[in-house]
């Protein structure tokens, strides 16, 4: 897989052979925690769609997932995530099933149902 840092508020995931790579068209753009959040959502969704497509005997060679986000303030955070996918090989009659499968991603469910988070110092 390849993750492309499209901007400070968007990533694109593309299937590729070999190990995961993270690329940026701009050398100064760093892989921020927000890119990591978008990557987690895209990778999880890709994994679910890949599994579903494999069972349905559908190719995923050209499945591209894009995640973009908008910030909110007070406190500064991601206020909205938008995920889209392009899948040229997906037959029209399988679109609704693919949409249902994409919505099964556990990262998406985690974000929709905000987990409890605790932070504390550890002595070891």
Tell me the pLDDT tens digit for each residue of 28-55: 999 999 999 999 999 999 999 999 999 9
Tell me the pLDDT tens digit for each residue of 68-122: 999 999 999 999 999 999 999 999 999 999 999 999 999 999 999 999 999 999 9
Query: SS3 of 56, please?
Result: helix
Class of the CATH domain delimited by 2-112: alpha beta
Pairing of strands 10-14, 64-72: antiparallel
Rounded to two decimals, what is the model's pTM?
Answer: 0.93
Residue with tokens 């929709």: 112
Q: In what order do the strands lie in the sheet with 77-86?
A: 21-23, 2-7, 10-14, 64-72, 77-86
Q: Is the CB of residue 9 less than 8 Å from the CB of residue 70?
A: yes
Residue 124 clears pLDDT 90, i.e. is over it: no
Backbone angles phi, psi at 65, to 5 degrees: -115, 135
């Amino acid at each position: 897989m390849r993750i492309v840092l499209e901007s400070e508020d968007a990533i694109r995931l593309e299937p590729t052979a070999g190990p995961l790579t993270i690329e940026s068209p701009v050398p100064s753009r760093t892989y921020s925690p927000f890119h990591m959040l978008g990557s987690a959502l895209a990778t999880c969704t890709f994994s679910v769609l890949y599994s579903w497509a494999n069972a349905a005997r559908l190719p995923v060679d050209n499945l591209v997932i894009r995640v973009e986000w908008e910030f909110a303030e007070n406190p500064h955070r991601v206020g909205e995530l938008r995920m889209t996918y392009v899948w040229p090989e997906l037959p029209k009659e399988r679109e609704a099933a693919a949409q249902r499968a994409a919505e099964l991603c556990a990262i998406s469910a985690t974000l929709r149902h905000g987990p409890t988070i605790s932070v504390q110092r550890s002595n070891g």
